Amino acid sequence: MNSNYLALAGRIRQTLADVERVVARADKLMQQALRSGDDGYWDGVALNLHGFYGGLERIFEDIARTVERSIPSGSNWHQDLLLQISADVPQVRPAVIRTATRHCLDEYRSFRHIVRNVYTFNFKWGRLQELVKELRPCYDDVTADLTQFIDFLEALSSSMDNQAKQT
């Protein structure tokens, strides 16, 4: 079996488990913020929303580096990577995520940029609530897409192993 693809599948699974924890924490912190009115909880919500996309982007970079050996560069590389990962690359790999998943993730990519460039006291609590409300469905969609991609990697690795045995 091609160990590079199997190792990639393992890294994807591990990072998805970590991102699952981030999703749960964002929801828990939002509930605490709503109950207490403490701004500090909103800061934690924003940080976990930032971590959600950051974790997934690391997966996408890993896929691009391992499978395609090509990571976008330039000032729009974050957006370009998301587009790259949602595109089918003939004779290399299927689309990693569906277009609908890309649209959902683009909201979190955009928000991550805001977290990096704005003071937390400027966040709009209503916007944070909207993002947390859509977080679980978005995570579920990306998990389903990545699970299919893991299946592709494992099948590809097995096929490569069978071809090697025949030669």
If one counts the domains in the chain, the total is: 1
Note down the domain range covering 33.
3-166
Q: Give the pLDDT confidence of 103-139 residue by residue, as tens digits.
A: 999 999 998 877 776 766 667 788 899 999 999 999 9
Output the CA–CA distances (angstroms, integers) from residue 147 to 39, 91, 108, 143, 152, in the order listed: 36, 20, 20, 6, 9
**CATH no. for residue 131?**
1.20.120
* pTM (global) more than 0.85: yes
Which whole number is the average pLDDT over 29-45?
93
